[in-house]
Amino acid sequence: MSFVMIAAGPSSSSRVRTLPLRALLSAAVFGALGLLATGVVLGYWMSQQVEAPLDASAAPTPAPFAVEQLGTLSGRLFTLESQAGQLSQRIGLLQGHATRPAAPAAPAASTATARGVRADSGGPMLPPRPEPEGLDALQARLASLELQIERVADAASLQNVSLMRLPTRPPLDDVGMVSAFGNRDDPFTGRRAFHAGIDFAAPSGTTILAAAGGTVAYAGTKADFGKVVEIDHGNGLSTRYAHASALWVKTGDLVAPGDAIAAVGSTGRSTGAHLHFEVLRQGEAVNPRRYLAGL
């Protein structure tokens, strides 16, 4: 059996073709198989697109920002621990609370040990390595360390302020003491008398420095002391700088340790250019060498 096909065209080119039935059936079968294969591939691709989000949600991967945050917190923790240790050593304070994590609980006995079989082990003795911590644990430790550092820094600041108010700095640079604190022969009468301070020899005009920080309680002239500066350092402690040729501060001024306050001279009851320096506690003269470093 066959089919006749007539191809229409110009009168001179029209043809009549005969196609066998077997060729038509073969073409139809191959076309159906092609459509079936295309459908299978398309269905498989669509199923993969649907299942992919489910697989991703079932096994999520760590978010990049979480890993970055963990590294940042670890760096801050190391820095804070170093600062806390340095501050504590500097001012001699014990840490207020422990900063190390609690020791892990002892592991349960193995099955071999429970049955009476000795479980031997060995190896070199090595220091433990730091165990990984979560973000919550790191943040808790950071908060604790920040509070500790704040307290230690406050204590250090208070201590620094206290030290600034102690007259431990020599009132003149690179000069020697010529008359000590205590009884001596008076330079005017030659009789035994009490000397309430220390005399430093220096050329007239040499800069006089504040031995400690405080408030200028008096800057002016007194009969025996000539031009004098008196500084109140608090807690009943004060210093006196006498026989100056010029005063560079006035009453009520705030001064820091080492500030220039006056110039050496020979005013008042004095035999020559020098500085008479006194330290007074509760208004009573005490030996300045108890405070001055290097004397």
Summarize pLDDT for 58-81 with one digit per residue, the tens. 445 545 555 566 666 666 666 766
Task: Average the pLDDT over each of 118-122, 171-175, 187-191, 257-261 and give the range with the smallest value.
Answer: 118-122
Summarize pLDDT for 87-131 with one digit per residue, the tens. 666 655 444 444 444 444 445 444 444 455 565 666 677 777 666
For domain 177-290, is the CATH number 3.40.50.200?
Answer: no
pLDDT of residue 181: 94
pLDDT at 3 over 90: no
Domain borders along the chain are 2-52, 70-93+134-164, 177-290
The answer for residues whose C-beta is within 8 angstroms of residue 141's C-beta and 6 or more apart is: 77, 99, 101, 133
Summarize pLDDT for 191-206 with one digit per residue, the tens. 999 999 999 999 999 9
pLDDT of residue 93: 47
Percent of the chain with pLDDT over 70: 51
Task: Average the pLDDT over each of 146-160, 163-177, 186-200, 262-276 and give the range with the smallest value.
Answer: 146-160
| Helices 64-91 & 135-164 angle (0-180, nearest 10) | 30
pLDDT of residue 21: 53
pLDDT of residue 100: 45
